Structure 1
Amino acid sequence: MYFKRFIGERIYLSPLNVEDYLKYAEWINDLEVSIALFEMKTPITAQGERQIIEDLSKENVFAIVVNEIDKLVGNIGLHNINWISRNAELGILIGDKFYWGQGYGKEAIELILDYAFNMLNLHSVYLKVYGYNTNAIKCYEKVGFKYAGRLREAIEVAGERYDVIYMDILRDEFESVYVKSIVEKKKKGLKP
């Protein structure tokens, strides 16, 4: 069961449902999905994934659910929140490969950034991404993330070395991107 906590055009963010652990275990054990994740390089059991979901459900992590059909497609969250410096790390997983490359990740990021900046009063949100994950990098750039640095040749995958790229977005940068998006939607006669 899902609850519409933050609602977008095509998706909504819901508190995690621990009973989805089998779906997450399926995604995490799919190398095509897990190759982009920082912490998931080894196979995981269903019970191990259940514990992870239980732990994440106590944090600022949400299920990404398709509006029309209430279908789980991934999750997104804010980790390592520093309440003094007012920043957090973004993590996202679109586990259902059918929904890759269609803007669902971008919409989920916009929803979580709205939450981060306008409800949690954070100043910045950052993320890490592997250099070979060019589709994710393009998505982050579309939302407004900027390059903040890189660890050169920090990881090895299949005998090749890749950079770990750091990106971030400040509150005022997001607001300008978000406001621009609302104006464009209104011009097209869509709901913001």
Structure 2
Amino acid sequence: MTLRPFTIDDAPIILSWIKDKTAFRKWSADRYPVYPPKPEDMLAQYATDNIFPFTAINDDGNVVGHIMLRYPDPSKTVIRLGFVIVDDNLRGKGYGKQMLQLAIQKAKNVFGAKKITLGVFDNNPSALHCYESVGFQVIGTDSYFIDGEEWTGKEMELN
């Protein structure tokens, strides 16, 4: 697997993995105003200089995942992961773990991260397990209002 920069051509493939509004919100929280999103909505999410989206490609050249790295503050010592998703037909086969390991390497070696963080909703236990499998630890909890409902989540960190 490799990570390459995301392009607008990847968006229809990635967005096709999101089968319903709940899955969409687990993936994007409240970042997108409208469901279902369009490829140009996805591109608009990345239109700043502190966000770095990547597409995961398997050894056959197929798009299998997506992940975004961003600097959440001006210090540029912390990288926050987000918009993490794997093709729903390939889940449970180690692609998520492999993609995260590559993103962690990139965050440290290319972006100079001293700390890597992410958030995950409690109603997404498979994602929580995947993050724990690469060394993320829960450091706190939060609650959010998503589409009029209260969702709880975990704040996670990798040092």
Coarse TM-score class (shorter-chain normalised) = 0.7 to 0.9
Write the distance in 1 (CA, Å) between the matches of 2:148 and 2:45. Answer: 29
TM-score (norm 1): 0.68
Q: How does 1:5-84 map to 2 (within 5 A)?
A: 11-28=1-18, 30-31=20-21, 33-37=23-27, 38=29, 39-40=31-32, 42-46=34-38, 48-49=40-41, 51-52=43-44, 55=47, 59-67=51-59, 69-82=60-73, 84=75
Q: How many residues align structurally?
A: 157
TM-score (norm 2): 0.81
Which one has a bigger Cα radius of gyration? Answer: 1
Identity of counterpart residues, as a percentage?
22
The amino acid across from 1:135 in the alignment is S
Write the distance in 1 (CA, Å) between the matches of 2:37 and 2:136. Answer: 34
Q: How does 1:16-165 map to 2 (within 5 A)?
A: 16-28=6-18, 30-31=20-21, 33-37=23-27, 38=29, 39-40=31-32, 42-46=34-38, 48-49=40-41, 51-52=43-44, 55=47, 59-67=51-59, 69-82=60-73, 84=75, 86-151=77-142, 153-155=143-145, 161-165=150-154
Q: 1:17 to 1:53 in 2, by over 3 A?
A: farther
Q: Secondary structure at the match of 1:98?
A: coil
Which one scores higher on RCO, CA 8 angstroms, separation ≥ 6? 2
Write the distance in 2 (CA, Å) between the matches of 1:98 and 1:135. Answer: 14
Segments of 5+ residues of structure 2 without an aligned counterpart are: none
The amino acid across from 2:41 in the alignment is E
Segments of 5+ residues of structure 1 without an aligned counterpart are: 1-10, 171-192
Greater per-residue helix proportion? 1
Provide the alpha-carbon RMSD of the alignment. Answer: 2.9
